[in-house]
Amino acid sequence: MLTGKKGDAELFSKEISKDQSEIPDTQPVPLIIAAGGDGTYNEVINGIAYTGIPMAILPLGTTNVLARELDIPEVMEKALDIALGGKVQNVCLGKITLREHKIQDSISKIQDSNFELRTLNSELSRYFLLMAGIGFDGEAVYGIKSRIKRYSGKGAYIWSGLKTFMLWNPDKLTFNIDSRGYEGYSAIICNAAKYAGHFKVAPDAKLQEPSLYAFIMQGRKRSDIVRYVSGIIRGNHLKFSDMTYRKAEKIEINGKACIQIDGDYFGKTPATIEIVPDALKLVC
């Protein structure tokens, strides 16, 4: 099946899971091989979570973070060998739910980006496989123009990130992590270790482990953003005194900020994020 627009991969995977539910248990379970990037994989997992249908991947995206997380090569022949002969493992997903009046803001943005509203449930909850970015990178993803991304790939993220940096003036956010409160201006909530390629924001995170890791940035200034980004690139960001790094099962976020999940814009806070154990079968 070839996708023609955003939302197609989720629609197709839901149709496959529906068809599978009507087949006797004695028949073999199908395998979905998703060829694309992290956004495509996100759509597929939202169509097959908890169905028992496994997903394998062929990395054809902009940054291919999931492929790097699973050590799947970007050489198609080798990736296809893993897809067809790899081990199926149960992995955990993150689940994010928008709260209160922010739902309408998200619907407006999703309509602007031609996302199919039929792929969303009424609560605007979605699963994510890799991470949820709150604040700076959520704002940067919000500003990406799909037409520019289609032609320039990573360049669209860099350009939008620079614009976000120049206009950066965030509101304070509060993070209630397993009933304990923290404050900050941006955060990355990780279900996997890798971020934006091969960088590790949460080195302790594992897809098979039923927990999230929150990296909360307490600095507000543009110079703080430069320092955090440099720290992530160098791998010493967890040593900064103005950050919080916590293992979590549930995180409630209050305040006003944009959200991205697995590299695509989702909506605005307030939101609740929680871990969902063994929700997906993934070929590794």
**How large is the average pLDDT for residues 206-225?**
97
Residues of the chain with pLDDT > 90, as a percent, come to 74
pLDDT band at 40; cut points 50, 70, 90: very high
Bridge partners for 258 per DSSP: 268
Res. 152: pLDDT tops 60: no
Helix (H), strand (E) at residue 123? none
Average pLDDT of the chain, as a whole number: 88
Q: What is the pTM of this model?
A: 0.88
What pLDDT is attached to residue 43?
A: 97
Q: What are the two backbone dihedrals, phi and then psi, of residue 57, each rounded to the nearest 5 degrees? A: -130, 150
Kindly tell me if the per-residue pLDDT of 59 is higher than 80: yes
Position 20 scores a pLDDT of 78
pLDDT band at 27 (very low <50, low <70, confident <90, very high): confident
Collapse the DSSP code of 121 into the 3-class scheme (helix H, G, I; strand E, B; otherwise coil) and give the result: coil
How confident is residue 63, by pLDDT bands cut at 50, 70 and 90? confident
Strand order in the sheet with 131-134: 243-248, 212-217, 186-190, 131-134, 258-261, 264-268
3: pLDDT confidence band, cut at 50, 70 and 90?
confident
Question: What confidence tier does 22 reach under pLDDT thresholds 50, 70, 90?
Answer: low
For residue 206, is pLDDT > 90?
yes
User: How sure is the predictor about 21, in pLDDT bands with cuts at 50, 70 and 90?
Assistant: confident
Q: Quote the pLDDT of residue 116.
A: 43
**Between the CA atoms of 188, 193, 194 and 198, what dihedral angle is there, to the nearest 10 degrees?**
130
For tokens 């694309």, the residue is 36
What's residue 79's pLDDT? 96
Measure the CA angle with vertex 147, ends 145 and 148; round to 5°. 70
Determine the Cα–Cα distance for residues 38 and 32; give it in Å rounded to an integer: 15
Continuous H helices in the chain: 8-21, 38-48, 65-69, 76-85, 102-112, 136-142, 146-152, 154-166, 222-234
Once rounded to an integer, what is the mean pLDDT over residues 79-97? 97
- Model confidence at 266: pLDDT above 60: yes
**pLDDT (tens digit per residue) in 89-139:** 999 999 999 986 444 555 555 544 444 443 344 468 999 999 999 999 999
**What residue type is assigned to position 284 of the chain?**
C
Residue 280: pLDDT above 90?
yes
Output DSSP code: residue 117: G
Residue 269 pLDDT > 80: yes
CA atoms of 244 and 51, how far apart (whole Å):
35
Give residue 25's pLDDT. Answer: 67
Say which residues have a Cβ less than 8 Å from residue 147's Cβ, sequence separation at least 6.
Answer: none
Burial class (CB in 10 A: 0-12, 13-18, 19+), 101: exposed
Q: What is the mean pLDDT of residues 175-186?
A: 95
